[in-house]
Homo-oligomer: A and B are copies of this chain.
Amino acid sequence: MAQAGRRPGQTETREEILEAARRRFAEQGYDGATVRAIAADAGVNAALLHHFFGTKQQLFAASMNLPVDPGELVPRILEGPEAEIGERLVRAFLGLWEAPDGRAPFLAMIRSATTNEQVATMMRQFLERAVLARVAEARGVPKVRVAGIAAQMIGFALLRYVIGLPPLVNASEEEIVGMLAPVAQYYLTPGTEKVRLPMHQEGGLARHWSETTG
């Protein structure tokens, strides 16, 4: 299966499947589009589509030209010492954006999502299924907390890579990790959602963190 070889027409078939996927995802959203319908549109059977692209989520990542499938990235972030999960998340995210071929597809996705309701729907459903639900369950935190760190990272990418805000553009990778990792750690640590404001009352967040991260 790994060595499928290159028969004539295989590249075209792949391209036709990706075309059909882009069309279906745009028209019906990530949830509404089925692998079966995409295969039928491309004139192939579902088994062949699966052979080429794997799961629906992997097909989506390929059709959007994402350089990485979140299905692979998320477990890499979750595995490892608890106290360093924030740092792993920020480093993985930076790795994607700083890679030469990594930036363009994400930029395209943010641009389309802010100008096109269909793309926004796709992105919303994909983020929820492929990222929020999975990370929330693995970490034992509410989905809204995972959305909080997603917001931090997407806003950071927008200001550093799209708007080009000088203090963020000029910051080194290590400075960025030092600044963002504690925020990621906060969102992904169970118990921090019970913090009450103002923060200094009864030790506030400081106390919760020292209790939960020891």
Decide if A152 is an interface residue (CB 8 Å cutoff): yes
A16-24, A37-45, A97-105, A182-190: which lies at the B interface? A182-190
Decide if A156 is an interface residue (CB 8 Å cutoff): yes
Decide if A9 is an interface residue (CB 8 Å cutoff): no
| A18: min CB distance to chain B, Å | 23
Decide if A11 is an interface residue (CB 8 Å cutoff): no
Closest to A151 in B: B155
What total of chain A residues lie within 8 Å of the partner, measured CB to CB?
Answer: 69
| A111: min CB distance to chain B, Å | 5
Contact with B along A132-154 (1 / 0, CB 8 A): 10000000001111111011111
Residues in chain B near residue A72, CB distance under 8 A: none
**Given A114-B111, A178-B193: A159 and B151 within 8 A (CB)?**
yes
Q: Is the CB of A179 within 8 A of B193?
A: yes
**Given A81-B198, A159-B154, A195-B182: A207 and B210 within 8 A (CB)?**
yes
Decide if A74 is an interface residue (CB 8 Å cutoff): no
Decide if A162 is an interface residue (CB 8 Å cutoff): yes
Question: Which of the residues B83, B127, B195, B203 comes within 8 Å of A163, measured between beta carbons?
Answer: B127
Q: Is the CB of A198 within 8 A of B111?
A: no
Most chain B CB within 10 A, of A146, A165, A193, is at A165
| A189: min CB distance to chain B, Å | 9
Decide if A197 is an interface residue (CB 8 Å cutoff): yes
Most chain B CB within 10 A, of A86, A124, A171, A198, is at A198
Q: Is the CB of B167 within 8 A of A199?
A: no
Q: Which 4 A-B pairs have the closest CB atoms?
A: A155-B155, A151-B155, A206-B209, A144-B167
14 extra interchain contacts, Cβ-Cβ under 8 A, other than A83-B198, A146-B167, A150-B159? A114-B115, A123-B163, A124-B163, A124-B165, A128-B167, A151-B158, A152-B183, A155-B158, A182-B192, A182-B197, A182-B204, A183-B183, A185-B205, A205-B209
